[in-house]
Amino acid sequence: MASLSEYKKKRKFDKTPEPGPQKKRTKSGHLFVVQKHRATQLHYDFRLEADGVLKSWAVPKGPSLDPKVKRLAMQVEDHPVDYAKFEGVIPEGEYGGGTVMVWDYGTYEPEGTDDVSEALREGELKFKLNGEKLKGSWVLVRTRGRQWLLMKHRDYYTTEEDVTELAPVSIFTRRTLAEIAEDEGGNPKKASTGDPKTIPRRTGVKRRKKGQRAKVWHSS
């Protein structure tokens, strides 16, 4: 049974801008998001909607479009569906303190199952991503405990190029981590360690209008 009790226990909502622990369902029921998160260490949070929450994994090196690459994915606590649109700064000293970017966002389609939660309990979920940067067929496989592997299946969207370097900015605002930190009262110098050095200063907009989405890079 999906629960947000651990998510709630780890956070002080009078101090963090993160959304509260409310279960809900999107229209499709199959939202996915990848958030680039510069906390103590840079990592990517991979999240799939199921049973009114976002099932979540921390992927230290980020997703890869190369089928030969197996990415470690450590399962973490379920997050609320509203978290999928969270981009900003978690105050230092709070759980997960640091800068968060919405790096990719879209829907997914389970493959070979109608019950995502059951497939995850059994330790393997195959799915198709329909994102801005991540597309095509993927699989999550549990190796032991909270440890999983995130892998790309070979298809039209396969490439050996590093998608995290090709498309480093937010899909909502086209900001880098440093720009998000600067705009939202965080530490731009600390956040910039998660940005490629070749990205020019102020590549994005300072603020996005509510509900607005920017055009972004697509894989082809």
R_g of the chain computed on alpha carbons: 16
How far apart are alpha carbons 209 and 197 in whole angstroms?
27
- Write out the two tokens for 108: 């997914």
**Tell me: the pLDDT tens digits for 12-47?**
999 999 999 999 999 999 999 999 999 999 999 999
Where helices occur in 36-153 by DSSP H, the ranges are 116-122
Q: Would the CA dihedral through 173, 168, 132, 31 be positive or negative? A: negative
How far apart are alpha carbons 181 and 57 in whole angstroms?
23
- H or E segment and range at residue 212: none
* pLDDT (average), residues 205-210: 45
- Residue 1 confidence class, pLDDT cut points 50, 70, 90: low
In this structure, the dihedral spanned by the alpha carbons of residues 89, 21, 48 and 55, taken in order and rounded to 10 degrees, is 110
**Tell me: the pLDDT tens digits for 49-88?**
999 999 999 999 999 999 999 999 999 999 999 999 999 9
**Tell me: the pLDDT tens digits for 100-154?**
999 999 999 999 999 999 999 999 999 999 999 999 999 999 999 999 999 999 9
Within a 13 Å sphere around the CA of 35, how many CA atoms are in the beta-carbon half? Answer: 25
How far apart are alpha carbons 177 and 63 in whole angstroms?
17
Contact yes or no for 46/57 (Cβ under 8 A): yes
Instruction: Output the pLDDT for position 195.
Output: 82
Instruction: Output the pLDDT for position 3.
Output: 87
Instruction: Output the pLDDT for position 121.
Output: 96
Contact yes or no for 165/62 (Cβ under 8 A): no
Residue for token digits 């509900």?
211
Instruction: Output the pLDDT for position 202.
Output: 56
- Residue 218 confidence class, pLDDT cut points 50, 70, 90: very low
Count Cβ atoms below 10 Å from residue 165 Cβ, excluding itself: 11
